[in-house]
Amino acid sequence: MTDKVGRGFVIRADASTVVGSGHVMRCIALAQQIHLRGLPILFCCAERPGHLGNLLSLAGFDVALLQPLDLEVNPIMQHRDAQATCDAWQKRGVCPAWVIVDHYSLGAPWHKQIRTAGPRLAVIDDLAERPLACDVLVNQNATLELHQRYPDLMLNPRAHLLLGPKYTLLRQEFSEIAGRIAQTKPSNPPRALVVFLGGADRDNLTMSVLEQLSEIEQRGSVHVLLGEMNPNREVVQAWCATHGFNCRLAGEPLGDLLVETRAAVVACGMFAVELQALGIPCLLVPLSAIQFRVAQHFVHGGHALALTLEALRSGTTMLVLLNRLLARPWSSERRSPVALDGAGRVIEHLFEYSYESLSAS
């Protein structure tokens, strides 16, 4: 550790109508753990539509909005983004010991420039498809074929790899929700059905699900969640009001609803991971190659079934699969494939890494 390094944390993650909300939501889990330890935190987010800066501010975190750059086209833009991130923490008076980045478009050029500025760097990744110049790598997914790629991708041979579901980044409230679910009596099982097709849902897959669910009874038990950046939000809200479905924003507190949730139809993003951590049965709709791999893991875990985009749009199998999921016996005692305390485990590892590095210097 150099004399440039302090005790704070900077988190670089984006949400938008294009990438959705999952990267920021799982970084909030880390920020909560940092806050518990009394350390300063600064979120740096590109000012794109749906950036969730207001949500982060309401949660009590300092936020710096950065100029959005076309990061994937020109590596020079990654250097500019790294400099903007450094400028933001210096302007805020934060002296970070660690920078945490959760962003598929920020690779080795960005990583190297941040580390040159002094802090240690932790990268959160799911893809294992680009070189990484970090001190710690976190991949919370149970995708062993991807985990095996990382040794050849790490430009820092001393980098620590934190791989697998025990490092899942869940916010604090999910431990409390899990405790409430465990107290539910078998004689009074939950009945609600939750629908969430991602924070952005640009293709309005939500309506594809709802039109099929309109054929079932007890519509009042269906709860539709919409991201703030969903471009079809008003249309879906109006449809729900007409057809007797409940509708709310995904960013609102959901504890009471999740305790009453019997099953969910969800994109296989971060919310699906959270539901699986709670043992809530899910009909998963993978929206990318990595989501397909994650969905297969959860299907093998016994609390999920998978529905392809083609099958969803054709309207031929969704209700069949959902009925199959609901026919399974309900129990409040479920073994979850996802750890509830992964975020705390990651932060403790960062502290241990810093201590070991200081001792070795």
φ/ψ of residue 280, rounded to 5? -85, 125
Chain segment 144-197, per-residue pLDDT in tens: 999 999 999 999 999 999 999 999 999 999 999 999 999 988 888 899 999 999
Query: Coil, helix or strand for 103?
Result: coil
How far is CA 175 from its chain centroid? 16
Q: What is the mean pLDDT of residues 207-229?
A: 88
Q: How far apart are CA 150 and CA 292, in angstroms?
A: 20
Give every strand in the sheet of 282-285, ordered side by side.
246-249, 222-226, 192-196, 261-267, 282-285, 304-306
Confidence at residue 358, expressed as pLDDT on a 0 to 100 scale: 56
- Which domains, ranges and CATH numbers included, belong to the chain? 8-170+340-360 (3.40.50.11190), 173-326 (3.40.50.2000)
Burial class from Cβ neighbours inside 10 Å (0-12, 13-18, 19+) for residue 257 reads middle
pLDDT tier, 219 (very low <50, low <70, confident <90, very high otherwise): low
What percentage of the chain exceeds 70 in pLDDT? Answer: 95
The answer for residues whose C-beta is within 8 angstroms of residue 21's C-beta and 6 or more apart is 15, 50, 52, 198, 199, 200, 227, 228, 229, 250, 251, 270
Confidence at residue 337, expressed as pLDDT on a 0 to 100 scale: 78
Q: What's the Rg (C-alpha) of the chain? A: 21
Burial 63-76 (b: 16+ CB within 10 A, else e): bbebebbebeeeee
Q: Is 228 left (phi over 0), alpha (psi -120 to 50) or beta?
A: alpha
Chain segment 294-348, per-residue pLDDT in tens: 999 999 988 999 999 999 999 989 999 999 999 988 887 767 779 999 999 999 9
**Minimum mean pLDDT among 46-50, 114-118, 188-192: which range?**
188-192
Q: Closest Cα partner for 76 from 45, 54, 117, 107?
A: 107
- Write out the two tokens for 243: 């057809």
- Write out the two tokens for 324: 């199959």
Q: How far apart are CA 321 and CA 107, in angstroms?
A: 39
What residues form DSSP beta bridges with 248?
225
